[in-house]
Amino acid sequence: MAARVAIFGLGIIGGSLGLALNQGKDIEVAGYDRDPETMELALQMEAVNRTGSLQELSAWADCIFLCTPINTLADIAREAARFCRKGCLLTDVGSTKQDIVRVFDSLAEIGLRGVGGHPMAGSERKGITGADRYLFENAVYVLTPGSNTPPDALEDLSSLLRPTGAHIITMDAEKHDRLVAMVSHLPHLVASALVSMLQGQDEALTLAAGGFRDTTRVASGDPELWTEILLSNSSLLAEQLESFIERLTRLKGVLQDRRSAELHEFLSNARGIREAMPAKRRGLSLAEQELVCIVPDKPGMIGALGSYLGEKGINIADIEILRVREGDGGTIRIGLSREEDGPAAVETLQSRGIKAWLR
């Protein structure tokens, strides 16, 4: 798809989109940010080919990505619409979709096409310097068309996003918001509540081992950003929170009455659901096979693993350091693109003296 793409908001998502899209010979990428220094950095990093004002780029673009804070999306969409050419495609990257999709539907009256979007990818880093060309590789990218979205808009946006490596799925905006309330927004509140219980409990902090840190990792998110996200989905999130409170209340009664069989059943069911979750996925993207290997703590070992497997034509879909002991070694999980490559990958690594097994 030949396109002139404008990105409004050159933070980590906007910058990463620019880096990913700016590889196609038929795509020209321009960017706007309220911070002039950020626009200059985006040019230096080649995340964009050019910069300009919101008005200039709105009139120039075939497609506009709104990558600004979620509470600004509606106003910026309406402002950009004043200058867009008929047929321009507008999309966003916000974490909730119903409000912005309603705005996009209203803009159809003046000949603009709108599709909500939510890339299920991110980083603990902030700003353009945290941008990554491969941020969306193997990540789920949800598109939420509205009632006034023409079919060609969905097709054009999907085609434009395909080179990012994202797995594109489509769903209704209300369904999206309900699901993310369950699997993203509620866990953030729960993790934050768990961490808050440790305030002033220095001994508890000392005992908080890996399990607690893993469970509460998301509580380290940016408070300003997450305040906006949670409030943007407050009604559906409140429903999920109420359901969670009901479950906790039932568990409280089970514990008080020492109903061991009921507790065991609850834990067994939870374990079954958890184990059915695809551990090999990033978002909804599946690595078909995974293996674990033990490697020495030496410079270049991760690169060597890729080289060993690459020589055999085996593609790595995902790689993760599970544990490491400095000066000794560590365990690494490797996700493979094809299930049938598993045995060959294990054999290849073992032939190099590396302990490896399928997971």
Residues pairing with 325 in the sheet: 329
What is the structure's pLDDT at 275?
83
Contact (Cβ atoms closer than 8 angstroms) between residue 312 and residue 344: yes
Of 58, 139, 71, nearest to 100 (Cα)? 71
**For residue range 245-280, what is the model confidence (pLDDT) as tens digits?**
999 999 999 999 999 999 999 999 999 988 887 654
Residues pairing with 356 in the sheet: 293
Contact (Cβ atoms closer than 8 angstroms) between residue 330 and residue 323: yes
**pTM to 2 decimal places:** 0.77
Share of the chain above pLDDT 70, in %: 96
Q: What does the alpha-carbon distance between residue 55 and residue 6 come to, in Å, rounded to a whole number?
A: 11
Residues pairing with 92 in the sheet: 66
Q: Looking at the chain, which runs of residues are DSSP E strands?
A: 3-8, 27-32, 50-51, 63-66, 89-92, 113-119, 140-145, 167-170, 281-282, 285-286, 289-296, 316-325, 329-336, 355-358
**For residue range 44-82, what is the model confidence (pLDDT) as tens digits?**
988 999 999 999 999 999 999 999 999 999 999 999 999
Is residue 210 scored above 80 in pLDDT? no
Helix, strand, or coil here: 169?
A: strand
173 token code pair: 């905006």
> Please, what are the domains in the chain?
3-171 (3.40.50.720), 176-276 (1.10.3660.10), 287-358 (3.30.70.260)
Average pLDDT over residues 147-174: 93
Contact (Cβ atoms closer than 8 angstroms) between residue 66 and residue 76: yes
Is residue 22 scored above 90 in pLDDT? no
**For residue range 293-312, what is the model confidence (pLDDT) as tens digits?**
989 888 888 889 999 999 99
